[in-house]
Amino acid sequence: MLKKILGLAPKLESDGSYSPSKMALKMSVADKTDFENISYQKYEGKRSKILVIFTEQKNLKMKNGKDFSTGNHPVEALLPMLHLKNAGFEFEIATPTGKPVVFEMWAFPRKDEHVNAIYKEHKSSFERPVKLSDFINTSFAHSDSYAAVFVPGGHGAMIGIPEDKNVAKILNWAHENDLFTISLCHGPGAFLSTTLNNQKFLYKGYNMAVFPDSVDNKTPMIGYLPGKMPYGLSENLKSLGANLMNTKMDKTVCVDRTLITGASPLASNELGKLAAKTLLKELN
């Protein structure tokens, strides 16, 4: 009751899940982003496509059994997409089974004209995405048309995607064909899929930025999460041999070979800039 009075109690949704408390939203969600509308020298080559793998799942079960109302974080998805679009790239939107993309709409920056514009531009694709197995069947033979695979963050990226064999196939396909892999925050949970069926972790020895478990462990105190996370992502990646470049929820971004990563939603703009500049430099 005291937490509710102080605005620290997570909000109960109609489906029984919990979204962040009033206090957590006040501390972590802004009406506008720090997006920089940069004019890049647009890419005009053949490898203009970027596959974006979104979650289609909404509820992530915490250790205490409560469901966190999540999905993909809109800023973590749309700011990098804005930069990549400005650099001349186009997107194929996909989810594991072709169900609609799920966003954390409580985190949507309502007054940001750029974010609203790209969301509306791709809304039909978010509602009717490509199925991963269909992408594998139709597009693996056309790797020379693709520049990168992008896995946005949001806690929803940890629902199903780390256990999805098709995600593993796509990440390995990107790696083998020298496509870039871009991700941030909890999106690198997708990388865990490469260890399915006792396979060696694809990114062992790579430098990467990822959301720190230490922050996830603290956010239930302000009602952002309704309980402790089911497992620690950053420590899991570290145990598999990843070299973590950040310890805080900050703007850290990192490129190592063809892997481009960012630490948190605060890094969304920086990741977009780094991804756009890196792809233009390497592909032109």
Q: Kindly list the catalytic residues.
A: 185
Q: Convert 71-89 to b/e letters by CB count within 10 Å (16 or more is b).
A: bbbbbbbbbbbbbbbbbbb
What's the distance, CA 143 to chain centroid?
A: 22
Residue 220: Cβ within 10 Å count: 22
N- to C-terminal Cα separation, the chain: 59
CA dist 221 to 10, 21, 84, 227, 249, Å? 10, 10, 36, 9, 16
Distance CA 252, CA 267 (A): 6
**Burial class, 113, CB count within 10 angstroms (exposed 0-12 / middle 13-18 / buried 19+):** exposed
> Which residue, among 138, 132, 225, has the nearest Cα to 186 in the 3D structure?
225
CB 71 within 8 A of CB 113: no
